[in-house]
């Protein structure tokens, strides 16, 4: 199966701190990939580089065979890569449905057929209402985003990333800040929403239960490097992953 996303020699440093060290990576279409690692390991830096919020010091990023390394976040979104944030990025004074419509506006200037079709679909009231229903947001439809509970804010942030039907969705800690009772429900909604459109998903996660349940491939980051790459069961047993990320004692306790 051909790669939809490729990173070649991707590097990034902040002074003496290396956030990405010559990362080489291929992501095939229709993948669901979990990114694990301790804080500062380079997971969010990788997502920021793929989505244009941060430029690598060296290396290239290719999407569907095209170099997107120098492009802006808006242009990358227009091409079909969407993301959510660890801290939801919402228009707090706007109603929930208006937040979704604002997200559609991000791709409004794109000339690609994908963007035109996405805008047409998402601007249709029925389609927007489908997204609201899919994420359990219908009851909040006319409420300002600023008054929503944290779990609902997370869902809205993800819904905004999905409303334009992206080809790749990147999620930065989608279950952080929500209760243990909510985390599986949030991920179930996301996976159900992307399934029919075969969206490729990469998500950063610290909760190994979430990784085990939803990821089909796991990338383990440590000190700006990918130290393990494979199926969840194999990666979570890897000696370096146990040492640097999960911890031997925690693994034994589980």
Query: Domain-by-domain residue ranges, the chain?
Result: 3-253
Q: What is the pLDDT of residue 102?
A: 83
- Residue 129 sits at φ, ψ, to 5 deg, of -65, -30
pLDDT band at 180 (very low <50, low <70, confident <90, very high): confident
* pLDDT score at 108: 59
- For 51, other C-beta atoms within 10 Å of its C-beta total 21
Tokens of 252: 């034994």
The answer to whether 173 and 205 are in contact (CB under 8 A) is yes
For residue 124, the model assigns a pLDDT of 54
Average pLDDT on 7-34 reads 94
What is the arithmetic mean of pLDDT over 101-105? 80
- pLDDT on residue 134: 87
Q: Residue 180 in contact with residue 129, Cβ under 8 Å?
A: no
pLDDT averaged over every residue in the chain: 87
Beta bridge partners of 230: 218
Look at 10-19, 33-42, 98-107, 124-133 and tell me which has the smallest mean pLDDT.
124-133
Domain 3-253 - what CATH class?
alpha beta
């Amino acid at each position: 199966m051909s790669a939809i996303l490729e990173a070649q020699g991707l590097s990034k440093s902040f002074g003496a701190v290396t956030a990405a060290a010559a990362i080489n990576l291929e992501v095939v279409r229709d993948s669901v990939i979990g990114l694990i690692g301790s804080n500062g390991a380079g997971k969010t830096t990788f997502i920021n580089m793929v989505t244009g919020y941060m430029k690598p010091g060296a290396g290239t990023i290719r999407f569907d065979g095209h170099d997107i390394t120098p492009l802006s976040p808006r242009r990358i979104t227009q091409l079909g890569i969407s993301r959510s944030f660890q801290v939801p990025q919402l228009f707090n004074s706007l109603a929930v449905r208006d937040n979704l419509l604002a997200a559609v506006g991000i791709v409004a200037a794109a000339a690609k057929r994908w963007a035109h079709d996405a805008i047409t679909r998402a601007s249709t009231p029925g389609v927007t209402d489908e997204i609201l229903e899919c994420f359990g947001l219908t009851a909040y439809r006319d409420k300002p985003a600023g008054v929503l509970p944290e779990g609902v804010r997370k869902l809205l942030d993800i819904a905004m990333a999905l409303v334009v039907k992206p080809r790749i969705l990147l999620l930065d800690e989608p279950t952080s800040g929500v209760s243990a009772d909510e985390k599986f429900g949030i991920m179930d909604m996301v996976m159900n929403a992307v399934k029919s459109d075969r969206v490729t998903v990469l998500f950063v996660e610290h909760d190994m239960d979430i990784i085990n349940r939803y990821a089909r491939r796991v990338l383990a980051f440590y000190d700006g490097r990918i130290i393990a790459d494979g199926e969840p069961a194999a990666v979570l047993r890897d000696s370096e992953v146990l040492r640097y990320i999960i911890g031997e004692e925690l693994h034994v306790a589980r």
